[in-house]
Amino acid sequence: MPELMVHGETNRKWTVIALLCAVFLAAMEATAVATVMPTIVGDLGGLDRYSWVFTAYMMSSTITVPIYGKLADLYGRKPILQFGIGLFLIGSTLSAFAGTMNQLILFRAIQGLGAGAIQPMGLTITGDIFKMEERARITAIFGTVWGVAGISGPMIGSVIVEFLGWPWIYLVNIPFGLAAAFIIQRSLREKIERKKVKLDWLGAFFLSAAISCTLLAVNAREDSVIFVPLSTFCFIAFLLVEQRAAEPIVPLDMFSNPVISNASLVSLMLGGAMLTFVTFLPLYI
């Protein structure tokens, strides 16, 4: 096997390869499951909870991103990334052996908790090991891999379910995830300079509650209307908490920059359109 260390320092090439592998798995998993969901519903039932298989994954991975960022300042990027990969693989293994739709939703949420650490830690680590003038190129590579993984996910999922069965859409992550974790452990060296940070747990709670209640509010069930005022309350509380927090989990002042606010809005619309299309199209094919 090629040397993973360069005189005790980080081997940037192997580190980037491992990070790209981990990012590809996390991105692919968000869309690959869509093509196999009709088959899974046929085995497990629970068509009325179909969308929650995707929602649980996306919600848990989204909510945890800012939390992992703060924890990385305390404990270092590498431990948080390895923790995320491990949690992602545990969720993948459990999902493969789910016996009911409720179990699958829970295990997908666990998988998403791990995925929430992979992409942001990958980008942060590359920012640490590459110079400023090199970061744009590396970031572009990560963005390309994320996009290709999301687009190719449905095709990969259909091939896997055709020849191996739907549990393998989750089990296929394990060897690649373990390989990525091993390479990162051997090739990445970081000097941890622990910063004194205050974790905005109250902001994280209200953000999680606001997103969860919003998703429950748009559910098609009659009793879901109760979550509309709850979602509104949690969102307002989140804004108030963030304005007063010493180190907010989401710095609201960054949205005063039109580049950031416009890019965030476009990403929101594109992501919503793509995921809606990928999630529900297989039901009508």
So what CATH class is 1-197? mainly alpha
Q: Say whether pTM exceeds 0.85.
A: no
- Digit-coded pLDDT (tens) for 65-75: 878 887 887 78
What is the 3 state secondary structure string of the chain?
Answer: CCCCEECCEECHHHHHHHHHHHHHHHHHHHHHHHHHHHHHHHHHCCHHHHHHHHHHHHHHHHHHHHHHHHHHHHHCHHHHHHHHHHHHHHHHHHHHCCCCHHHHHHHHHHHHHHHHHHHHHHHHHHHHHCCHHHHHHHHHHHHHHHHHHHHHHHHHHHHHHHHCCCCHHHHCHHHHHHHHHHHHHHHCCCCCCCCCCCCCHHHHHHHHHHHHHHHHHCCCCHHHHHHHHHHHHHHHHHHHHHHHCCCCCCCHHHHHCHHHHHHHHHHHHHHHHHHHHHHHHHHHC
Q: What is the share, in percent, of the chain residues with pLDDT greater than 90? A: 11
- Digit-coded pLDDT (tens) for 1-16: 444 444 457 788 888 8
